Homo-oligomer: A and B are copies of this chain.
């Protein structure tokens, strides 16, 4: 089940970055949804490397081809398969990594797990795999928007020490986020964040960061009470993204320093129903959405591939030096923004379908 995510709205992904193709099968998407390649391509374009000075210069071939599941622009309720061929394979770039597991990469653990590893590149652990998530997430997002008016917006909250971003979670939009290449929506931070990335790049190093995300318009009642809590499934989805090292919902780690009397979100009438005065809960109580915006933050480590030489050991245990060549991102967070949105959409679409069974 390694390559399947979701129960009712499910994606199954495939592809090694340096093999023939990457792809995704979206199963469980309800029928009669209008869907075009452009709906998917829009988010894929935001994920693509080579978008500016802050990301790597690879020109990934990521024009999506939809192979199945549509008829006259409408979904049929059958699996929607999408694919992209891998055009730009440069195995030479990975020369020297066959005998030396790259530190903090998946090379060593993949070898230990399977007794074999791809002859070049990162295999399924590569960031290229996220192409399939973003494609699948775009379908989920389209359905959530049409059916419930759900809006999902993620942004860069911090790069290294630059942050957190000052953002109005009720109004922040993708347009605002995309206004800066670094994809924060705090204009005052765009410059310092970009500079932190550029400095790391110049120093042949990398830098980590944090992405924040809001999901607006989620109705009450999504999420299951015990193990499949909304926050638990978001946590699984986010921590499955390469380089993610943590997640916090609502008040998160800082909330652990608060008293209950300050942390509790009192109820108040809002429209026809109840809302809360504050939102330390991040829109989720007892694993179930309460109608307030869903809020969370995801930690991304500094990319493991760096140009600086590293002292390490070969597979056979011999001390050696490793120096990465070729293209690599000094910071993943700008490109990870649409990936966080995609995983959010997949979690929400799945829980939305499950909640329909209660009607």
A244 to B227, CA, bound (A): 12
- Which of A169-177, A179-187, A233-241 has 4 or more CB atoms under 8 Å from chain B? A233-241
Closest beta carbon of chain B to A234's beta carbon, Å: 8
Q: Please indicate which of the listed interface residues A22, A203, A240 has the most CB atoms of chain B within 10 Å of its own CB.
A: A240
* A89, CB-defined interface residue at 8 Å: no
8 A Cβ contacts from A87-135 to B: 101, 103-106, 108-110, 112-119, 122-125, 129
* A64, CB-defined interface residue at 8 Å: no
Contact indicator A31/B114 (Cβ below 8 Å): yes
8 A Cβ contacts from A301-359 to B: 301-306, 308, 310-313, 315, 317-319, 353-359
Per-residue 0/1 for A184-214: is the Cβ within 8 Å of any B Cβ (1 yes, 0 no)? 0000000000000000100101111110000
Q: Residue on B with the closest CB to A124?
A: B225
Contact indicator A239/B228 (Cβ below 8 Å): no
Contact indicator A301/B227 (Cβ below 8 Å): no
Measured between beta carbons, the chain B residues less than 8 angstroms from A288 are 106, 109-110, 112-113
Given known A103-B265, A108-B290, contact A1–B224 (CB-CB < 8 A): yes
Given known A114-B358, A253-B299, A264-B310, contact A225–B30 (CB-CB < 8 A): no
Contact indicator B68/A261 (Cβ below 8 Å): no
Contact indicator A116/B76 (Cβ below 8 Å): yes
Contact indicator B74/A116 (Cβ below 8 Å): yes
Contact indicator B358/A315 (Cβ below 8 Å): no
Closest beta carbon of chain B to A66's beta carbon, Å: 7
Closest beta carbon of chain B to A116's beta carbon, Å: 5
- Which of A7-15, A39-47, A54-62 has 4 or more CB atoms under 8 Å from chain B? A7-15
Measured between beta carbons, the chain B residues less than 8 angstroms from A2 are 27-28, 78, 224-228
* A155, CB-defined interface residue at 8 Å: no
A32 to B117, CA, bound (A): 10
Report the interface size class on chain A. Answer: 35 or more
Per-residue 0/1 for A254-293: is the Cβ within 8 Å of any B Cβ (1 yes, 0 no)? 0111111101111111000110100011101111111100
Contact indicator A65/B20 (Cβ below 8 Å): yes
Q: Residue on B with the closest CB to A355?
A: B113
Contact indicator A304/B264 (Cβ below 8 Å): yes
Measured between beta carbons, the chain B residues less than 8 angstroms from A228 are 1-2, 240
Q: Please indicate which of the listed interface residues A8, A105, A124 has the most CB atoms of chain B within 10 Å of its own CB.
A: A124
Measured between beta carbons, the chain B residues less than 8 angstroms from A203 are 259
Given known A81-B21, A303-B260, contact A114–B76 (CB-CB < 8 A): yes
Contact indicator A304/B19 (Cβ below 8 Å): no
Q: Residue on B with the closest CB to A346?
A: B227
A318 to B274, CA, bound (A): 10
Contact indicator A264/B104 (Cβ below 8 Å): yes
* A49, CB-defined interface residue at 8 Å: no
Given known A76-B123, A103-B266, A225-B110, contact A68–B255 (CB-CB < 8 A): no
User: Can you list 28 A-B contacts with CB-CB less than 8 angstroms, sorted by A residue number?
Assistant: A2-B227, A14-B80, A16-B71, A30-B358, A31-B115, A32-B114, A71-B119, A74-B116, A83-B83, A101-B274, A108-B220, A110-B288, A113-B221, A160-B257, A206-B260, A207-B260, A208-B263, A210-B256, A232-B235, A240-B287, A245-B249, A245-B282, A247-B247, A255-B301, A260-B301, A263-B302, A268-B313, A359-B359
